[in-house]
Structure 1
């Protein structure tokens, strides 16, 4: 991964795909470091993503190479013992990280966003389901305040996740992370610093609506006031955000233990 405890650096964003980068790099010289496979079936490499032109929102992705002596470099002119040392040099001396891109000058390291969670803040407990992406577990998440909250955690099935699967997971997270409504499941964030990749969400532990209706007699009044209204409010909110669910069904509606949908 580049040595020098790269994962401990605040500017290291792990397996974050390039689709999420334009939202993080604001000014010319803003940069972050991540890891990705540059070609199918190839090992992952460390990549420096830097905004080189604000007007055109042009981001260049520079691969950190490793020579036969195990040194790290982006340009033949300078080699370093670790990626953090490489970053430190170019950030402090104002040299372009690649001589062929003269405006690729590191100016500001962009740290992890609030929705980029550390694995160490998430505790996986019991398996509660399985989906297309992977397994779903109940667990705990330590908020920045230090308080622990109950969460549902989606975890990738395989030990090493493909580039396409990462993109798929992050597309879901990108959609959900801006939603905040009492009738829409909250997403706390994603863990992408290393594998397994995790999506951490609010735990809704009352079960699916279809199972609830099969097991319980519910008056028409309760259905309208508690269930239909809650679903309608959630959908109204999503529509206000230009989101169309496309699979509205009782099996996709979850209830809290107090009966809130």
Structure 2
């Protein structure tokens, strides 16, 4: 099994391979607009990987490792290039929150960013929110769209709730709302909490 990822903190790509039960990592060399490990260079990383898969050529003479099967991309994984960031709409414990949209279909989203300077344990805590949200599917729970983790900054991409967070909305608009609307909101919040409890 293998995957290509961006190196932590450096502007280079790494081919990570599970070989004989052990992870092995190979830096993909980039020079003269060509990508290679050893031997021939190719104009893109996908073409390099395709060549290595088809030819069954070892990644390096010393390693003898050949590529067998790509690790399938999780449905929640997005690329940073899949997003168009908008304006900052908030700030959280881990970083800023932006409005944005998905390039593919112009879906409006909220993008939580994780500060690059945070230590790895706090970045893991940041991603824990996405792991939890993956499990939920309810109309009264903010929906996870995906995560961007291939490079920094890490993003959690969520459904954009128009009007901002509920508490702020109630504080600013609550006195102008009709009782019927407020009761509907209470019912929706209770339905969401009941779902979380089940």
Same fold (TM > 0.5): yes
Superposition map of 1:202-221 within 5 A: 202-215=159-172, 216-217=174-175
Deviations 1:132-180 (A, max 9, x none): 111111122234xxx312211112344x776445434433223223422
Residues in 2 aligned to 1:91 and 1:61: alpha-carbon distance in whole angstroms: 18
Report the Cα offset of residue 184 of structure 1: 0.8
Is 1:142 equivalent to 2:109 in the alignment? no
**Aligned equivalent of 1:90, options 49, 52, 76:** 52
CA, structure 1 residues 180+219, in 2 after alignment: closer, same or farther (shift >3 Å)? same
Is 1:114 equivalent to 2:81 in the alignment? no
Report the Cα offset of residue 130 of structure 1: 0.5
2:2 equivalent in structure 1 = 31
Is 1:155 equivalent to 2:113 in the alignment? yes
Q: Give the length in aligned residue pairs.
A: 191
**Aligned equivalent of 1:49, options 6, 9, 16:** 16
CA, structure 1 residues 100+120, in 2 after alignment: closer, same or farther (shift >3 Å)? closer
C-alpha RMSD over aligned residues: 3.7
Residues in 2 aligned to 1:166 and 1:79: alpha-carbon distance in whole angstroms: 37
Confirm or deny: 8 A CA contact 2:17 2:25 kept in the other structure: no
Deviations 1:85-106 (A, max 9, x none): 653443223355477877x541
Superposition map of 1:115-134 within 5 A: 115-134=76-95
Report the Cα offset of residue 122 of structure 1: 1.8
Report the Cα offset of residue 129 of structure 1: 0.7
Residues in 2 aligned to 1:148 and 1:172: alpha-carbon distance in whole angstroms: 24
Is 1:199 equivalent to 2:156 in the alignment? yes
Residues in 1 aligned to 2:13 and 2:83: alpha-carbon distance in whole angstroms: 25
The gaps in structure 2 that reach 5 residues or longer are none
Deviations 1:177-228 (A, max 9, x none): 34221011111112334333322211112333333444424687765x4233
TM-score with structure 2 length normalisation?
0.71
TM-score with structure 1 length normalisation?
0.56
SS, match of residue 141 in structure 2:
coil
Residues in 1 aligned to 2:124 and 2:60: alpha-carbon distance in whole angstroms: 27
